[in-house]
Amino acid sequence: MIRQYPVVIIGAGPAGLTAAYQLTKQSIKSIVLEKADKVGGISRTETYKGYRFDIGGHRFFTKVGEVNQVWQEILGDEFIKVPRLSRIYYQGKFYDYPLSLFNTVSNLGLITSFLFLISYFNAKFKSRILRNVKIETFEDWVSDCFGVRLYRTFFKTYTEKVWGIPCNEIRADWAAQRIQGMSLKRAVFNAIFGSQNAKSLIKKFDYPILGPGMMWERCQEILESRDIPVELNTDVVSIERDGSMVKSITVQQGEQTFQIIGEYFISSMPVTLLMNLLDPLPPAHVLEASRGLKYRDFLIVSLVVNREYLFPDNWIYIHSPEFKVGRIQNFKNWSPKMVPDLSKTCLGMEYFCSEGDATWEMSSADLIELATQEAIALNLGIKAGDVEDGVVIRQRKAYPVYDGEYRQHLKVIQDYMETFDNLQTVGRNGMHRYNNQDHSMLTAMLASENIIGEEHDLWEVNVERSYHEEFTTEKRKIEASSIPTPAKTTS
């Protein structure tokens, strides 16, 4: 069987669904292909016995007006406003995040706090006066911004827990992207005067009342009501090309294999996988580069706890190295509708790992036992016997790794991708960039505009632009001749 659509989109996460949604506004038909059994990608909401939980917490906050407009169009008044509260657990104490001056000094003590300041001024002296600091790694970047002592206390352990590699092997790019605009000076200023001007430190955010997956499930409904199919459990097995033009995609649904012909193609699948599905394959040096890109996997152990209240945070970062858990979500504090019984609490114990390692290979029963024991040991208000149930969700390729070689490998792939006339990659895995949800959506919006005649360079889209520049688009009239033929099915 052969099916034909003007635009073929691989991946039904925020990027893929946004691309399809934007194209419908121009009356351009598409088909969305998703390997999983539900939409949303890593922004989906899982359900277990009525308990709903995120695959990592997803706040809906953006300074990109067009992205916010899409969110409002899809969900509107089904957002709730959630106060942001998170803390850091380190050596038996909880530290406010963002920094609270009194809390931090109280926990550290005056002498240690003074040593932190000396370390900070020493870093500023080296970088501003001596100018002999070379910023290449995460360790370099954070030490320059905050001082070596604070880096070792609050950043090193958690970051290595997340990535599984030493901080001096992680590129500074990731730090600049994820902790942008922060310094110890600014953090202290914020703590004293109550100003939170860094993008990650907002005090309130929007959140779908039933979790982030609600957004993308609703988007799926809208697309299908407009005759845009979203095909789940659909595995792409090959992408046929003729030189710089992709001609079709071969997919498998259960026992059935069929071909989809398209004029334009948008992919949010891992770019490493994309390279290996092209037929004919890319040149050898491109395949070698794709093998050099790495990902970090992730699993969440959701515990149902027979306690009405445990702690007020949305999430807690666990920096102490004696615990394997990296972060803990309290889903009822995101939305009360995330739990079916308000007398109970659902915690998401998040473990960063790599497929095949000891943590990944643990049985679900052992992971639930590990998470239970760690939750008790962290003094979160849980006692033996309080945990009634649990479930484990594993997420492959959750985070693109910014190791020492990723940039050169990605540049090879980027250069190769630019030779294609009708194939664009979008989103976190499609571009091997640690994007937030709104940033992934932005790349998809620009990709959809390219199909109607714009000339956006998606690789130039970065986090700083996403948050700090006004992003506006001029809506252009589309000539009928520029719109590809309507969808049709042949056999």
- Mark whether 319 and 383 lie in a shared domain: yes
- Mark whether 280 and 302 lie in a shared domain: no
Residue 361 burial by CB count (10 A; 0-12/13-18/19+): exposed, middle or buried? exposed
| 94-101: average pLDDT | 81
86 inside domain: no
84 inside domain: no
pLDDT at 103: 87
pLDDT at 469: 40
Rounded to an integer, what distance in angstroms lies between the CA atom of residue 240 and that of residue 227? Answer: 25
- Mark whether 276 and 354 lie in a shared domain: no
pLDDT at 465: 45
pLDDT at 474 over 50: no
Read off the pLDDT of residues 420-446 as tens digits, 9 standing for 90 and up: 999 999 999 999 998 889 989 999 999
User: For residue 206, what are the contacts with CB-CB under 8 A and spacing of at least 6?
Assistant: 59, 60, 61, 71, 79, 80, 81, 82
- Mark whether 350 and 443 lie in a shared domain: no
- Mark whether 144 and 6 lie in a shared domain: no
pLDDT at 30: 98
Domain-ending residue, one of 153, 176, 201: 201
- Mark whether 407 and 486 lie in a shared domain: yes
272 inside domain: yes
- Mark whether 299 and 395 lie in a shared domain: yes
pLDDT at 44: 96
81 inside domain: no
The CATH number of residue 262's host domain is 3.50.50.60
Residue 253 domain boundaries:
2-39+64-73+212-292+403-490
pLDDT at 434: 86
pLDDT at 182 over 60: no
462 inside domain: yes
Domain-ending residue, one of 400, 418, 451: 400
pLDDT at 455: 92
Read off the pLDDT of residues 369-411 as tens digits, 9 standing for 90 and up: 999 999 999 999 999 999 999 999 999 999 999 998 999 999 9
The CATH number of residue 387's host domain is 3.90.660.20
> Which residues, in sequence order, are bridge partners of residue 387?
305
Domain-ending residue, one of 400, 433, 448: 400
57 inside domain: no
- Mark whether 302 and 380 lie in a shared domain: yes
59 inside domain: no
pLDDT at 120: 87
CA distances from residue 382 to 169, 310, 386, 443 in whole angstroms, order as listed: 37, 7, 6, 42
Between 490 and 434, the higher pLDDT residue: 434
Closest by alpha carbon to 326, among 268, 378, 381, 258? Answer: 378
32 inside domain: yes
**Lowest pLDDT segment from 21-35, 73-87, 103-117:** 103-117
pLDDT at 266 over 50: yes
Confidence grade of residue 97 (pLDDT, cut at 50, 70, 90): confident
Rounded to an integer, what distance in angstroms lies between the CA atom of residue 405 and that of residue 315? Answer: 32
- Mark whether 307 and 387 lie in a shared domain: yes
- Mark whether 288 and 419 lie in a shared domain: yes
Helix (H, G, I), strand (E, B) or coil at 133: coil
pLDDT at 466: 40
Please provide the average confidence, as pLDDT, over all residues in the chain: 88
User: How many helices (H) and strands (E) would you count in the chain?
Assistant: 18, 20
Q: Give the distance between the most distant pair of CA atoms in the chain.
A: 77
Read off the pLDDT of residues 137-147 as tens digits, 9 standing for 90 and up: 999 988 988 88
Token reading at 413: 């792939």
Domain count, the chain: 3
Read off the pLDDT of residues 327-374 as tens digits, 9 standing for 90 and up: 999 999 999 999 999 999 999 999 999 999 999 999 999 999 999 999
Counting residues of the chain whose pLDDT is more than 90, the rounded percentage is: 73
- Mark whether 266 and 181 lie in a shared domain: no
Read off the pLDDT of residues 184-230 as tens digits, 9 standing for 90 and up: 555 554 544 444 444 455 688 999 999 999 999 999 999 999 999 99
Phi, psi of 8 (to 5 degrees): -115, 125
pLDDT at 472 over 50: no
- Mark whether 262 and 313 lie in a shared domain: no
